[in-house]
Amino acid sequence: MKLNPKTLFSLNAVRVIALACASILASTTLGCSSKGMKGGSVLPTKYHSISVPVFDNATPDRDMGFQLTEALQKRLQQSTPYTVTHDGKADTILRGKVVSVKLSQMSQSVATGLSEEVAYTVTLDWDWVDVRTGKSITARKGFAASGVVVTSRSQAEPLDLARFEVTQRLADDIVANLQADW
């Protein structure tokens, strides 16, 4: 089945709208469930604040550490009972390092051989530490998430869309992991 350019554009627009809606739905759902259940939260109750300094970044994507930290701080404010504050005032600190950013071709045009869909994968290591004891509350190495963009000329999505999708997914996943292992 061959699709005309208008149909392809419409499909691409639907995909972008679906991604945006999924992101909004996820943030609303996470925000409501955790905020509404502060007393029943699965987060440790002995902590009241968390500091999230800008994640170190060992990749050529200079903005990834900053964008990920910003998304994570917002997610923590929205979906946990903790106050996000500066290092000197926090009970806990969440440190991390962006280890790799990789672009992987998922599909290519038969006609041109150029990439049509590209996966943008970010891998990081992070550690949530109790400032008073210096002990790790929970940590992960090789923690990864991906976002997909359509790069073909008629439907081209900016790489920033994939970066946004990945940072939101990583922020959601890190907060979920803070709740899981302590």
Instruction: Scan for tokens 């923690």, then name that residue.
Output: 143
Tell me the C-alpha distance between 110 and 53, whole Å: 45
Q: How far is CA 104 from CA 32, 72, 107, 148, in A?
A: 35, 25, 9, 9
Tell me the C-alpha distance between 121 and 2, whole Å: 30
Average pLDDT over residues 68-97: 94
Look at 26 and 168; give whichever has higher pLDDT. Answer: 168
pLDDT > 50? residue 24: no
| The predicted structure's pLDDT at residue 105 | 78
pLDDT > 70? residue 120: yes
| The predicted structure's pLDDT at residue 103 | 84
pLDDT > 50? residue 174: yes
pLDDT > 60? residue 31: no
Q: How confident is the model at residue 111 (pLDDT cuts 50, 70, 90)?
A: confident
| The predicted structure's pLDDT at residue 30 | 40
pLDDT > 90? residue 160: no
| The predicted structure's pLDDT at residue 119 | 85
pLDDT > 70? residue 29: no
Residue ranges and CATH numbers for the domains of the chain are 5-180 (3.30.160.150)
| The predicted structure's pLDDT at residue 66 | 95
pLDDT digits (tens, 9 = 90+) for 125-147: 999 999 999 999 999 999 999 88
Cβ neighbors of 68 (< 8 A, separation 6 or more) are 55, 96, 98, 122, 124, 167, 170, 171
Closest CA to 137 of 70, 43, 30: 43
